[in-house]
Amino acid sequence: MKTTTRVCNLCEAMCGLTVEHSAEEIHRIQANTQDVFSAGAYCPKSQGLADLYYDPDRIRRPLKRQGDEFVEITWDEAFTSITRKTKELQRQHGTSTIATYLGNPNSHHFGNLLALPFFLRSLRTRNKYSATSVDQLPHMLAAYLMFGHQMLIPIADVERTEYMLILGANPTVSNGSLLSGAGLSSRIKSISKRGGKVVVIDPRYTETAAVATEHHFIKPGTDAYFLAAIVQRLLVTPRLRHLETMVTGLGDLTNLINSLPLENIQTMTGISQEVVQNISEDLLRFDRAVCYGRVGVSTQRFGGVCQWLINTINILTGNLDREGGALFTRPAVDIVNLMAKSGSCGSFDRRRSRVRNLPEFSGELPAATLADEILTPGKGQVHGLFTIAGNPVLSLPNGPKLETALASLDLYVAIDFYRNETTRFAHYILPPVSPLERDHFDLVFNAFALRNQVRFSPRLIDPPGDSYDDWGILIELCSRLSASGNRLARWRQRAMARLLLRLGSRFVLDLALRIGPYRKQRMSLKKIAANPNGIDLGPLTPCLPGRLFTKHKMIELCPPPFVAAWTDLCTSSLQQSSGDRLVLVGRRSLKSNNSWMHNCPSLNKSRNQCYALLNTEDAFARGITDGTKIELSTDIGSITLPAKVSDKIMRGVVSVPHGWGHHRKGIKLSLASSTPGVSLNDILDDQAIDEFCGNAALVGQAVTVNRVDRS
């Protein structure tokens, strides 16, 4: 029996764990109190690491579809057939007839992240999609347009701030997002304990609101107006401090923001002028203040504008790149610099999607239009798909439409270890090993962490000899698919893939560490491995203007694309609850993150987490009480689930968690199927989108709510 330290990869918090294990058994998973980053914080989801390893439903050998069934095949058979069919389709319809979809878990696997650029290059497709465009795209776009790099996302300095304004985020439950810091709940509580203030703006009185100083309900989808009203007030006496010489476009921004009359802010958002005034004053009164907004504000019709305005608030209060405000990280593997060196700072609107004319971001098209690209005939139609660690049937709006699209594909390859709501349509499923059977290193989330630090988690259990990790699968496919381009290009691609296979992902990671910002401290994989609790690299520190990637090394306050989006905002009439209809928002629970976690015994023991939360008055008007079965209907479809009645949600709003709906035929998730829940995305409209940036507008869609016996 051994005890090994490990960083949990199941969410962005990156908690340090200790795992008691033998060669093939996991005995106990606990918090690592000595971990340099999390110091003993963790959550119940950590037990999912063992559940995943033992899960009898986890696929361990490649599968091939035969009629309605799947049969096991060898890895070589799988790679050979997939390569042949991919090439056939590309010869017939062009290279972009094969699309790719990357799910969120890719960000948690350094092997995937290192291999994906090679794999995508070997496919040479322009049809690339990912969960980014149903999630954090607005953050990345704002970073790209304002600071010149899509990954230069400012991190709220929760540890040192005196005032935190939180919108559309519930870090007490999610444990932080684009804000990696284990134990965020107690860190947020500490702000008020040290005399500061935490203000939560949310249509729901969330678990974070419960530990905040103040909470205000906001009508879903109206955050851009609220943020604009704050910016209008800050522009009266902006306090740029050290940023004075680093910003450009202040005059243009002032003219633009003042062009929108916001006297009726209460009617528009539900938040009074007085509250807006007080918050604006507090943002300037506190020396160290920060505004942080996450998925609830990103996934709405003006989500792009929201993230631009949030950065603007932090700039106009002089709190960007300042202790206690919003700072940039300096991780041991500096993905910002590595991407810049390879010319990947970002891109926006270089081309448009074929069917709906939506803009690309960083080479990807909006995922909400993937089904259109598969179902709409014509030149450029998608006939083949690779999904990698994603479950878009449950993650993308209008799941049923995507199901129809997936069923029509000529080739669908899923790299996944579950037969889930999406992968059940696959022709081939290639399963990587489980997390504890491979090395782990946080390439992405260290770039969004509250503190600079570095940790490496070697694999704990040796995987079976004939298995592949994600890196191996992608590089192997790459070596076989590299048959496009001229002969020299083909040879180069294949030689590179073979070399990478021989060197392994550890070699590439070590190289990235050795050339990173801590090279003078002789940073290497060996050095990190010798420190099982990790190496602390210090607090976040100011780094501008040196870290800016904009043309003139200035922060762009008023980038032209946002001007166009602003015009849209000014002329828009938002969909509001009216008459019988309520508006939808999502919800997160502590024991759920991604859909596959619902198959973990340790996380699926408690009461049903998939229920609709609605306000007491709305419920009363419809004869609904706790536990009543209700039907939620939109033009897309309807779902039936139990109701929970509460005053902790705004009138006119109904909240449903996402990631459920495991009742579908053909999946093999035994435990999840016994408590299936329903998928919120079965009723969300895929046409509802932030047209400006292409991010899905999941928040604020109108829905009819009825008791089942009355519908």
Strand partners, 352: 359
- Prior bond to 238 cis, omega within 30? no
Q: Name the helix (H) or strand (E) containing 702.
A: strand 702-707
The Cβ of residue 665 has, within 10 Å, a number of other Cβ atoms equal to 6
In the complex, minimum distance from the CB of residue 589 to ligand SF4, in angstroms, rounded to a whole number? 12
Nearest distance from C-beta of residue 602 to ligand SF4, angstroms: 12
- Taking the complex as a whole, the smallest distance from the CB of residue 563 to ligand SF4 amounts, in Å, to 38
For residue 246, count other CB atoms closer than 10 A to its CB.
17
Distance in Å, CB of 669 to ligand SF4, minimum = 19
Q: How far apart are CA 577 and CA 701, in angstroms?
A: 9
- Which residues of the chain form contacts with ligand SF4 (CB under 6 A)? 8, 10-11, 13-15, 42-43, 45-46, 175, 182
Sign of CA pseudo-dihedral 315, 320, 325, 328: positive
Residues in the chain, total: 711
Q: What's the min distance (Å) between Cβ of 131 and ligand SF4?
A: 17
Nearest distance from residue 144's CB to ligand SF4, in Å? 27
Nearer to ligand SF4, 40 or 676 (CB): 40
442 versus 686: smaller Cβ distance to ligand SF4: 442
Please state the closest distance from residue 173 (CB atom) to ligand SF4, in A.
10
Paired tokens of 19:
């795992």
- Sequence-distant (≥ 6) Cβ neighbours of residue 360 within 8 angstroms: 347, 348, 349, 350, 351, 352, 353, 694
Question: Which of 11, 558 has the CB closer to ligand SF4?
Answer: 11
Q: Provide, rounded to whole angstroms, the least separation between the CB of residue 518 and ligand SF4.
A: 24
Give the strand order in the sheet containing 197-201. 214-216, 197-201, 163-167, 289-293
What six digits make up the tokens of 300?
A: 């709405």
Question: Cβ closer to ligand SF4: 302 or 445?
Answer: 445
Q: With respect to ligand SF4, which residue has the nearer C-beta, 172 or 317?
A: 172
Indicate the residue among 592 and 681 with the shorter CB distance to ligand SF4: 592
What end-to-end distance do the CA atoms of the chain give, in Å?
A: 58
Q: Least Å distance between CB 17 and ligand SF4?
A: 7
Task: Using the minimum distance from each CB to ligand SF4, give the nearer residue, 43 or 512.
Answer: 43
47 vs 307, beta carbon nearer ligand SF4 = 47
The CA–CA distances, whole Å, from 648 to 133, 205, 294, 379, 616 equal 29, 5, 20, 51, 9
Distance CA 287, CA 289 (A): 6
User: Tokens 């290059």, residue?
Assistant: 121
Q: Identify which of residues 47 and 577 has a Cβ nearer to ligand SF4 in the complex.
A: 47
Between 18 and 97, name the residue whose CB sits nearer to ligand SF4: 18
- Tokens 């319809």 belong to 93
Q: How far is the CB of 44 from ligand SF4 (least distance, A)?
A: 7
Per-residue tokens: 147: 């600071």
Asked whether 211 and 198 are in contact (CB, 8 A), the reply is: yes
Q: Residue 150 in 3-state DSSP?
A: coil
Query: At a CB cut-off of 8 Å and minimum separation 6, what does 25 contact?
Result: none
